[in-house]
Amino acid sequence: MWLNTLLLALRSIRRNLLRSFLTILGIVIGVSAVITMVTVGNGATAAVQNQISGLGTNLLQVRPGQRMGPGGSGASAPAFKESDGEAIAAQIGGIAAVAPEARTGSVLVANGRNWSSSVIGSTNDWLTTGNWKLAGGRAFSNDELRAGGAVCLIGQTVQRELFGNTSAVGAQLRVKAMSCEVIGTLVSKGQGAFGNDQDDVVLMPIKTLQRRIVGHTRVNTLLVSMSEGADAARITSSITQLLRERRKLAETDEDNFNILDTKQLAETLSGTTKIMTMLLGAVAAVSLLVGGIGIMNIMLVSVTERTREIGLRLAIGALEREVLLQFLIEAVVLAALGGLIGIVLATGASLGLSALMSVPYQFNLSVNLLSFVFSAAIGVLFGYFPARRAARLNPIDALRHE
């Protein structure tokens, strides 16, 4: 009985190709839209989280000027000094490393080529706070840091643009009027949280930058890396207190610096992308619903023709359960086929979009299952239940159905 009924179901699908195709199409669109949207959305969230964790975990960025926004007056605030960073490291507990950062832009010349990039002056702590690893060569020695040696580390973009595939370690690099030796290269970190290229960077001892390139001792940013499990709120308020004293602010003065917690930033940003994912998912859910309504329509429109067909089958001796099994198999085959095609399409589309948006692809089992089950249930429900009603009719009444 199973084999015969399967045969009947497949014949029925074949002779109603258009209807079968439309049914499948509804399921395919619904399933693939939901899966693609949610997968790409999740990928985007993961990408943002990756990029922010690449900034450095447990990192506080201390900058001069008030927090940006209405009433902010960043420009007039005095810069930090190197000693501010040393004081923070020495006087506040729960801190792993503090790196002063001075920054300028410059054209780099080496190997007969030139390239414009950011030049950063700092210490080896800058590598710790920024989660940087060395791809080759070495970090700065204490002598180089103290004396302001003519040495530098370069990011992968600078390596590629100026030196191509040959190792830059040991080569000379000219930054403005100064020539320095490349002593190491940094492992690539890729795109930053704001779309910037983090690898387009040259790092040198802060004294080298101050004395030989910019000609002043201003420090633009203090990067504070907290110990694992440290209380960010306590450290933030301690730093605020210390810096207010060192910058000689009166009780009534507002802070002329601000502290940015990257963890907070990460939470804010990934919260935003999560909302975006939910939004995309909601839009896709609408298409799943529309697909479902399409399936219902097609199934219900064909009920008249199918009722007469059921009447005939009953009249020539089909048992009620044989007719029902046939319709059930039809519905299940169509729904499963549509669901599988939808999942395959969604996987292709997700992979393509993920590559295009350079976000990681993550297979999401629950979304795949959920959208598949939803459309399959609609297909089976609206394929099967009208048939069940028809199969319970007297064959004569079913044959005469208008």
Cα 325 vs. chain centroid, distance in angstroms? 46
Residue with smaller CB distance to another protein, 199 or 309: 309
Q: How far is the CB of 320 from another protein (least distance, A)?
A: 7
Residue with smaller CB distance to another protein, 177 or 316: 316
Q: Pull the structure tokens for residue 42.
A: 């999740």
Stretch (H or E) spanning 222: strand 221-226
CA distance 277 to 195: 19
In 111-217 the beta strands, taken as DSSP E runs, fall at: 113-122, 134-137, 151-154, 172-175, 178-186, 201-205
Burial of 173 (0-12, 13-18, 19+ CB in 10 A): buried
Q: How far is the CB of 328 from another protein (least distance, A)?
A: 17
Q: How far is the CB of 387 from another protein (least distance, A)?
A: 15
Non-local (6+) Cβ contacts of 190 within 8 A are: 51, 54, 198, 199
Residue with smaller CB distance to another protein, 181 or 320: 320
Q: How far is the CB of 10 from another protein (least distance, A)?
A: 12
Q: How far is the CB of 397 from another protein (least distance, A)?
A: 10
Residue with smaller CB distance to another protein, 6 or 178: 6
Amino acid occupying residue 268 = T
- Among 204, 232, 181, 192, residue whose Cα is nearest residue 60: 232
Q: How far is the CB of 8 from another protein (least distance, A)?
A: 6
* Angle at which helices 17-55 and 320-356 cross, to 10°: 40
Q: Where are the alpha helices (DSSP H) in 205-302?
A: 206-208, 232-246, 262-301
Residue with smaller CB distance to another protein, 310 or 346: 310
Q: How far is the CB of 4 from another protein (least distance, A)?
A: 5
Q: Where are the alpha helices (DSSP H) in 56-195?
A: 82-91, 125-129, 142-147, 156-158
Residue with smaller CB distance to another protein, 102 or 314: 314
Residue with smaller CB distance to another protein, 123 or 307: 307
CA distance 299 to 381: 10
Non-local (6+) Cβ contacts of 275 within 8 A are: none
Q: C-alpha distances in angstroms, 280 versus 28, 101, 195, 253, 271?
A: 17, 40, 22, 46, 14
Q: How far is the CB of 335 from another protein (least distance, A)?
A: 22
Given its phi and psi angles, is residue 225 left (phi above 0), alpha (psi -120 to 50 degrees) or beta? Answer: beta
Q: How far is the CB of 315 from another protein (least distance, A)?
A: 5
CA distance 4 to 177: 88
**Contacts with another protein, residue ranges (CB under 8 A):** 1, 4, 7-8, 11, 15-16, 305, 308-309, 311-320, 322, 394-396, 399
- Among 4, 30, 22, residue whose Cα is nearest residue 329: 4
DSSP state of 75: G
Q: How far is the CB of 294 from another protein (least distance, A)?
A: 21
Residue with smaller CB distance to another protein, 10 or 381: 10
Residue with smaller CB distance to another protein, 154 or 323: 323
Q: How far is the CB of 304 from another protein (least distance, A)?
A: 12
Residue with smaller CB distance to another protein, 4 or 114: 4
Residue with smaller CB distance to another protein, 99 or 299: 299
CA distance 222 to 89: 11
